[in-house]
Amino acid sequence: MRSPLDGVRVLDLSRVLAGPIAGRMLCDLGADVVKVEPPEGDVTRTFGRGPQTAYFRQQNAGKRSITVDFRTDEGCALVRRLAAVADVVLENFRPGVLAKFGLGWEDLSALSPRLVMLSISGFGQDGPERDRAAYAGVIHAETGVIARQRRHGDDPPADIPISMADSVTGLHGVVAILAALRHRDATGEGNHIDLAMVDAMLFCDDYAPGAPSGPRAEPTEAERIANGNCDIVDAPGGPLIVMGAFKWIWKSVNERLGLADPTPPGADVATKIHLRHRAWRAFVAGFEDRGELLAALDRANLAWGTVKTSAEAVVSPTFVHRGTIVEVDDEGSTHTVIRAPYRFSSASSGVRGPAPHQDQHAAEVLADWLG
């Protein structure tokens, strides 16, 4: 079967994560993605041991690699030639950097009016903070995520252990690219996409629209329980997360499983919450068999999840069934790569090969794209 993006050429000038993950998704969808690296290589090649780290392999599987030195006139001229025959250019330099090399949007769109260019930055291509450096942690801090991670007033702020701002920005980049390609097919004109990480992160934060303004007092135990959207509980066989406001959890186990209400008549709200929460946790801990507990939670129509390590997660039955974890051959060595999540009824998608070695495809890219 054909892939959805067969024939689409993507020139990937980006590095680290937000841009490369967009290129990787386009590659899984069938695009020919050429990764342009500086002579020293993408910095993520050194994120770990060996010339091909797991981090680099995951974000660049299936791409082709060519090394170009922007500091030379010949290198910049070559990038302009490649961009002139590309459908899409990806970049995540700080605003204005590529223009210094004659590789900005105005320069490249003049060569190809049909070009779609995605420019990812921390704070946008213009505005008061356009020149700031940005990584995922910076964006998590600036959009309120880190502050919300604090459980108690005396806990120090801590970043979340995942580069969420990069990932959601890359995903939104792919959405914008596909929309721009549709627009180009309809009108013949290209587009420059100005994608700010702060915009992408805030848009994906479902807590942000209802966030209170101004200072708040530290919540009480009852308020934390009542206002939470889940409960992580100790259970036989390891911790479980049970989703839903505690009011819903209690209603479900009380009415559907017959868990008795321990609160005395006339108890205030805080006492009710405290005693019911303690009874709920004792109920979970009282099961000797995990299977019986999970069956009871299912009867109560509660959504639950096992708190797994990453190593445990990747061998789950669902991932095995869906072929999510892919073994790719790289010149005799086998590496594990996670495939993009798209499944189509009448088109193919998936990992197209290993991550490239640096400059591995220079000759064939120049032949295929420039003749």
**Residue range 82-95, pLDDT digits in tens:** 999 999 999 999 99
Strands 230-233 and 325-330 turn out to be: unpaired
Per residue in 240-299, pLDDT (tens digit) is: 999 999 999 999 999 999 999 999 999 999 999 999 999 999 999 999 999 999 999 999
pLDDT tens, 163-194? 999 999 999 999 999 999 999 999 999 999 99
Closest CA to 116 of 41, 224, 10: 10
Distance CA 289, CA 303 (A): 18
78 three-class SS? helix
* pLDDT value, residue 223: 81
What are the structural domains of the chain? Answer: 9-206+342-370 (3.40.50.10540), 221-308 (3.30.1540)
What digits encode the pLDDT tens for the residues 95-132? 999 999 999 999 999 999 999 999 999 999 998 999 99
Give CA–CA dist 140/154, Å, rounded.
Answer: 20
Helix (H, G, I), strand (E, B) or coil at 194: strand
42 catalytic? Reply is no
Euclidean distance between CA atoms 256 and 31, whole angstroms: 51
> Which position among 28, 32, 166, 231 bears the catalytic label?
166
DSSP state of 345: S
